[in-house]
Amino acid sequence: MSKHDAVEVIHAKRDGHGLSDSQIDWVVDAYTRGDVADEQMAALAMAILLRGMDRGEISRWTQAMIASGERMDFSSLSRPTADKHSTGGVGDKITLPLAPLVAACGVAVPQLSGRGLGHTGGTLDKLEAIPGWQADLSNTALLEQLESIGAVICAAGSELAPADKKLYALRDVTGTVEAIPLIASSIMSKKIAEGTGALVLDVKVGTGAFMKSLADARELAETMVALGTDAGVATVALLTDMSTPLGLTAGNAIEVAESVDVLAGGGPSDVVELTLALAREMLAGAGVTDVDPADKLADGSAMDAWKAMIRAQGGDPDAALPQAKESHVVAAPTSGVLTRLDAMAVGMAAWRLGAGRARKEDPVQAGAGVVWHARPGDTVTEGQPLFTLLTDEPGRFDRALTSLEGGYDIAEGGSDFTADPLIIDRVG
């Protein structure tokens, strides 16, 4: 007979009390096993959203989620490990160039990634645009690839924090996704169970981000850094702007192409800036301070690591990427300086063109997405291409165009325009 029951735990949090370690351990375990019903956990999640949790509670909740499944162990590797997690944005292809770049600097990167939902793209969806590439790896294959190449981007196994998978699906349909203690414990339970030595968090803030306000983003970053620190993982967070989409593309194959440009020593300046900033943080967390990642982009070794990583997972890094069957160009309506490009508008357009999914089981189009031909601060001329929309289904263009309406501003003159910094702050 259990010394706890679900209603007692719900009442405690509903009435503003802290949950005890044994209450937390019991309810997470019982829910994972099916002994606590979905409607009971939904009520508790809502109570947590409204009443919050203190650091001790969140830390214990995270540990209970980790204890629901297996923990990975990278201690057998000959090099240190570091990982990165982004809270998701538009055009956020940073994982693709970052993992091989950090590997080229001597640190192993076990990047367990996910698929996209809604307006934010998923790393695995992007990589699956590469002919032959496979997301699923056994733990043995993952370890072998980390030792030989130093970088893996793959799907997380079902045995890693299974409590999170179940709770995440419930939060999605009960209006409790926004609870910061549950967001933080969801992300960090998987990352800590993954067993990496150092972790860098890219917490996005702005219109195209999950966290719209800097205060909320900072609270989430501080909560996650504390969770990592409490678990013995060297953790830092960068707060980065997601009011403007990253780079010049949002989609799957087109973001792969942009990532390859970065690895070749080119690519959009903002993508390069954020990739290098995160790489330096990952290297520092792993104790590697004598390598400049910019050198590894310049000398081709990051590109070599990319090609080896793609080949190891069945992909052909030299194959042509899929292209959309149809395209539609949006011309600039006036001349002037582009002063605003809204990340949410671009993300919604890409999603409506087929680059993303509304439900987990939906397919995505590899070639669909949005290319923008100017970034805020650039001068544009009336009639010049401002966006190119890509899809296999021309019936999708109208809804994508609706998404972009009001999503950008062009100002005459515009000489007083100043871009907001990409990296807003560092926590940790």
Which listed residue (83, 92, 125, 164) is catalytic? 164
Tell me which residue of 411, 380, 305 sits closest to 79, measured CA to CA: 305
Tell me which residue of 208, 269, 428, 254 sits closest to 355, measured CA to CA: 254
Number of H helices, E strands in the chain: 16, 13
Tell me which residue of 110, 37, 120 sits closest to 356, measured CA to CA: 120
Q: What is the chain's percent helix, strand, coil content, to nearest 5? A: 45, 15, 40
Active site residue 373: no
Task: For the chain, list the domains and their CATH numbers.
Answer: 6-52 (1.20.970.10), 82-158+176-312 (3.40.1030.10), 326-411 (3.90.1170.30)
Which listed residue (60, 115, 119, 171) is catalytic? 171
Active site residue 84: no
Note the pLDDT of residue 3: 85
pTM value surpassing 0.75: yes
- The two structure tokens encoding residue 286: 């792993």
Alpha helix locations (H) across 88-199?
A: 95-104, 123-127, 139-148, 162-172, 180-193
383: buried, middle or exposed (CB in 10 Å: 19+, 13-18, 0-12)? Answer: exposed
Q: For the chain, list residues with pLDDT below 50.
A: none
Active site residue 186: yes
Note the pLDDT of residue 198: 96
Active site residue 4: no
Note the pLDDT of residue 121: 72
Active site residue 85: yes
